């Protein structure tokens, strides 16, 4: 789990990067990477507000976003989405990682399993896993006053070729609305995009 920044642990004039690759579903903006003076980044993250142009914000990267509606308020919708999403994740691991892999066991038992259990079995404040689709994040980021930056076409092409030539044939790389999409057997599992503060 990502270590929480301690107030005053970084000089006030320095920049801070906040990133959590595994706990991004249960905190509104933890996966955003802000390049702001440290007190401002903590204020933006805790209040969920957009950084102002005068605060020195340069670039915000959103990703990898778990592309799932497991955060839906209705149980049947949440259960169905969790079933499809986690079935794809476990199927991907079954096809690409040996069953006796220690890394696979850790991922299944300590990351994916608890996330699926929390999304399905918990209600109210006990349900901390609330992933959203990349299209919901598109709206959220736009409303927060951020402007999406275009993907680098040559990087996307190179990545697509690398995945096509060196990875399992069921992996999917695609682009939609300047989001780089990553999936398995046609189901989009993760999305990445880059944003900047409106000037």
- Taking only the tens place, the pLDDT of each residue in 15-24 is 444 444 444 4
At 125-167, the pLDDT tens digits run: 888 877 888 898 888 878 877 888 899 999 999 999 999 999 9
First to last CA, the chain: 34
* 100, pLDDT greater than 90: yes
Chain mean position to CA 49: 18
Q: What is the pLDDT of residue 194?
A: 83
* 43, pLDDT greater than 70: no
At residue 60 the predicted structure's pLDDT band, cuts being 50, 70 and 90, is low
Q: Which residue spans within the chain are E strands per DSSP?
A: 15-16, 36-37, 60-66, 146-149, 171-176, 179-184, 187-197
Q: What is the pLDDT of residue 57?
A: 47
Q: What is the pLDDT of residue 2?
A: 44
At residue 197 the predicted structure's pLDDT band, cuts being 50, 70 and 90, is confident
Q: What is the pLDDT of residue 28?
A: 37
Q: What is the pLDDT of residue 59?
A: 53
User: How is the chain split into domains, by residue range?
Assistant: 15-67+131-150+188-197, 75-126
Q: What is the pLDDT of residue 199?
A: 61
Which of these, 48, 47, 41, lies nearest to 10 by C-alpha position?
A: 41
Q: What percent of the chain has pLDDT over 70?
A: 67
Average pLDDT, the chain: 74
172: burial class by Cβ within 10 Å (0-12, 13-18, 19+)? middle
Does 137 or 50 have the greater pLDDT score?
137
Q: What is the pLDDT of residue 86?
A: 92
Does 128 or 91 have the greater pLDDT score?
91
Q: What is the pLDDT of residue 73?
A: 82
Model-level pTM?
0.70
């Amino acid at each position: 789990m990502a270590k929480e920044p301690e107030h005053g642990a970084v000089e006030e004039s320095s920049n801070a990067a906040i990133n959590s690759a595994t706990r991004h579903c249960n905190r509104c903006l933890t996966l955003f990477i802000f390049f702001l003076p440290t007190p401002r980044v903590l204020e933006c993250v805790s209040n969920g507000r957009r950084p102002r142009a005068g605060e020195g914000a340069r670039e915000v990267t959103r990703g990898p976003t778990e592309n799932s509606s497991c955060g839906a308020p209705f149980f049947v919708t949440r259960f169905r989405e969790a079933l499809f999403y986690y079935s794809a994740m476990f199927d991907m691991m079954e096809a690409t990682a040996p069953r006796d892999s220690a890394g696979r066991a850790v991922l299944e038992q300590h990351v994916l399993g608890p996330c699926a259990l929390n999304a399905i079995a918990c209600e109210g404040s006990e349900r901390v896993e609330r992933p959203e689709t990349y299209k919901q994040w598109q709206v959220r980021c736009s409303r927060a006053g951020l402007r999406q930056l275009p993907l680098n076409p040559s990087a996307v092409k190179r990545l697509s070729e690398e995945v096509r030539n060196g990875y399992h044939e069921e992996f999917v790389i695609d682009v939609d609305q300047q989001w780089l999409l990553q999936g398995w057997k046609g189901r989009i599992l993760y999305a990445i995009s880059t944003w900047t503060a409106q000037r």
